[in-house]
Amino acid sequence: MPATLFDKIWDAHEILRDEEGRSLLWIDRHFVHEGSFHAFDTLAERGLSVARPDLTFGIADHYVPTAGRPRIADPKIAGMVERLAGNAARHGVQLFGLDDPRQGIVHVVGPEQGLTLPGLVMVCGDSHTATHGAFGAVAFGIGASEVAHVLATQTLWQTKPKRMRLVVDGRLAAGVTAKDLALHWIAALGADAGRGYAIEYAGPAVEALSMEARLTLCNLSIEGGARCGMVAPDATTLAALRDRPMGPAGADFDAAAADWAALTTDPDAVFDREVTIDARRIAPTVTWGVSPEEALPIDARVPDPAALVSEEAARQMRGALDYMGLAPGQKLTDVAIDRVFIGSCTNARIEDLRAAAAVLKGRRSRVPGIVSPGSTLVKRQAEAEGLDAVFTEAGLEWRDSGCSMCVGMNGDRVPAGERCASTTNRNFRGRQGPGARTHLMSPAMVAAAAVAGRLTDLRDL
């Protein structure tokens, strides 16, 4: 039977199926981080070892500070990093620790090192594992008990999701990015639109995206409720995979590339849901509320709860506006900001930093802010290109790599009541710190907001 890309990978990894229809899947790559200590504790309690340490990779990223390293002032965080190092050494797991020149955010390091490959099933105790699907992999986040199960068996029980294809016709206009595309479709379809689905992104606009842009798009799949997101491998994928340190090389790469060519959706394959979006209708987009679906084009106005028919929806909107300190009908471009953040697994790769630096070059930021590259290798490349000087001359802090202000659990926080223009993936209440107000947007849009001191259309610059 004709099969989708997702079906081909899932079926190839299914070991067996139980009476309830759940599949036991073989896992090709398992990433763990400082927060995975609970799973290692479970193994210790049961006297178990890591089943496949060669397929397990430890990365310090979520809790680590991005300033003052290698010293970690917070003893609790220092202890978590030490526990990760101890568990990795005990079980023979390769670790990208703070002393490793390849350290960075897990979803940046995986593709960077060539650990992320087409056709794999990949998991991590982090919801944004969907990022890796940009390479034509099935990748998703898992819970603490599931992390322990994978560590002990290199397998995982999962219910197979339905399949959705999101086709993006046309081409994105100048100044419009994959971040805008993702926020646009989530706002248009809703934060639950992808619930129960694996999304395959397709169409001319997706095919035209760079590898880094595809990573951004797949990263945000979870914000639309999807289990995972993916893009079929093509020439762009192969170019990005060639010569990666831990990927196949030489004749092995050529053989792998021939196999990867078969990782496409068959012409007559049936999806459970199909959605088509016109790329030409997408503008630079920012969030106004407390969910990624609460987003609008930058030239729009803050919505009015009075215009909603549903009282429940109106109540939720009033709550969001109250938390964000916004008034119905207010122009988004009149919203002043207090600080900016450029970083996270969504938008901290070299392409993202270049886009932000292009806007900031020769200009000053009106507000303070942090720039945290996605990995130490990205940091070095940015410094070699002089991007760090652009950021510091604009008045922003140039930091080490890590999750930083995306999660507010490592010392990098937005003070209560302050408003931050951010390249991150979530604008939930308190996500960047208790009482923090977050507006999501692309790196170039964050840079434009920094220059203007308010939300602004980068196209005006």
* 40 shares its domain with 103: yes
Whether the Cβ atoms of residue 50 and residue 43 lie closer than 8 Å to each other: yes
**DSSP state for residue 178 in the 8-state scheme:** H
Q: What is the CATH number of the domain that holds 432?
A: 3.30.499.10
* 294 shares its domain with 415: yes
State the average pLDDT over residues 183-189.
Answer: 98
Alpha-carbon distance values, 105 to 328, 349, 371, 404, 439 (Å) = 37, 10, 14, 10, 22
pLDDT at 70: 84
State the average pLDDT over residues 144-155.
Answer: 97
Non-local (6+) Cβ contacts of 91 within 8 A are 40, 43, 49, 50, 53, 56
pLDDT at 295: 98
Closest CA to 185 of 198, 197, 173, 201: 201
* 28 shares its domain with 139: yes
* 93 shares its domain with 192: no
* 261 shares its domain with 304: no
**Most distant CA pair in the chain, distance:** 64
* 138 shares its domain with 168: no
* 303 shares its domain with 270: no
* 403 shares its domain with 445: yes
Distance between CA atoms of 129 and 123, rounded to whole angstroms?
7
Distance between CA atoms of 322 and 228, rounded to whole angstroms?
32
Non-local (6+) Cβ contacts of 395 within 8 A are 364, 365, 368, 369
State the average pLDDT over residues 342-362.
Answer: 98
416: tokens are 């209560």
Which percentage of the chain shows pLDDT scores above 70?
100
Tell me the chain's radius of gyration from C-alpha atoms: 21
386: tokens are 């002089």
pLDDT in tens, 18-31: 999 999 999 999 99
115: tokens are 């650990």
Distance between CA atoms of 141 and 222, rounded to whole angstroms?
9
* 10 shares its domain with 148: yes
State the average pLDDT over residues 150-160.
Answer: 98
Domain count, the chain: 3
Distance between CA atoms of 364 and 153, rounded to whole angstroms?
53
* 307 shares its domain with 384: yes
Q: Of the residues 97, 128, 158, which one is the last residue of a structural domain? A: 158
Q: Of the residues 112, 129, 158, which one is the last residue of a structural domain? A: 158
* 135 shares its domain with 178: no
* 316 shares its domain with 418: yes
Non-local (6+) Cβ contacts of 102 within 8 A are 96, 109, 112, 113, 375, 376, 377
Helix (H, G, I), strand (E, B) or coil at 348: coil
Whether the Cβ atoms of residue 404 and residue 412 lie closer than 8 Å to each other: yes
pLDDT at 411: 86
pLDDT in tens, 1-23: 999 999 999 999 999 999 999 99
State if pTM tops 0.85: yes
Whether the Cβ atoms of residue 15 and residue 155 lie closer than 8 Å to each other: yes
pLDDT in tens, 378-420: 999 999 999 999 999 999 999 999 999 998 888 899 999 999 9
187: tokens are 């706002």
Which percentage of the chain shows pLDDT scores above 90?
97
Burial class (CB in 10 A: 0-12, 13-18, 19+), 92: exposed
Q: What is the CATH number of the domain that holds 220?
A: 3.40.1060.10
Task: Tell me which residue range forms the domain holding 129.
Answer: 5-158
The b/e string for 298-313 (b: 16+ C-beta within 10 A; e otherwise) is beeebbebeeeeeeee
Distance between CA atoms of 275 and 277, rounded to whole angstroms?
7
pLDDT at 461: 87
Q: Of the residues 260, 281, 302, which one is the last residue of a structural domain? A: 281
